Amino acid sequence: MKSDSITITEPQTTQQFEAYYLLRYQVLRQPWNQPPGSEKDNDEASSDHAMACDQNNTVLGVCRLQMNSATEAQLRYMGVKTDTQGLGIGKKLITYMEQKALQKGAEKMILQARENAVDFYTKCGYTIVEKSYLMWGQIQHYLMEKALR
């Protein structure tokens, strides 16, 4: 599959949100036996959501943007469907959210990177601030940041 056949949109309908959260669950929660529902937090309504879809409207990637302050944005819940990773979908999603963050007045984007994703974020221009926390006793996270302007 070519990444130019992938479009980034924001979920609108109930059905689109269901598909969006399902992929978030399948990529970021299910492999660690976390229960359904654990893929959501209390900030969903106040956040922006983006998803990457193919020409059949199948959701292949998701991520969320929240504003921590007037100038600091945070990217969360970035996940690409296992069999379509490495095709440029993650990069498209992060680029979309960086533009969105800029429109909202952000000067900086931060994120908590899983250890396996640090090299991906580095390729996208992020740098490590500090080794942060261990999730579920096994996934090391790193606080990373990027100046947007």
Binding residues for ligand COA, rule: CB under 6 A, are 27-28, 78-80, 85-91, 113-114, 116-117, 119-120, 123
C-beta of 25 vs 106, nearer to ligand COA = 25
CB of 84 to ligand COA, least distance (A): 7
Burial of 71 (0-12, 13-18, 19+ CB in 10 A): middle
The distance of Cα 13 from the centroid of its chain, to the nearest Å, equals: 19
Nearer to ligand COA, 52 or 106 (CB): 52
Cα 130 to Cα 95: distance, rounded to the nearest angstrom? 23
Q: How far apart are CA 82 and CA 47, in angstroms?
A: 25
Q: Please report how close the Cβ of residue 142 comes to ligand COA at its closest, in angstroms.
A: 9
Nearer to ligand COA (CB atom), residue 31 or residue 70 = 31
In the complex, what is the shortest distance from the CB of residue 88 to ligand COA, in angstroms, rounded to a whole number? 4
Nearer to ligand COA among residue 105 and residue 135 (C-beta): 135
Say if residue 111 is exposed, middle or buried (CB neighbours under 10 Å; 0-12, 13-18, 19+).
buried
- For residue 123, the minimal CB distance to ligand COA (Å) is 4
Tokens of 39: 């893929």
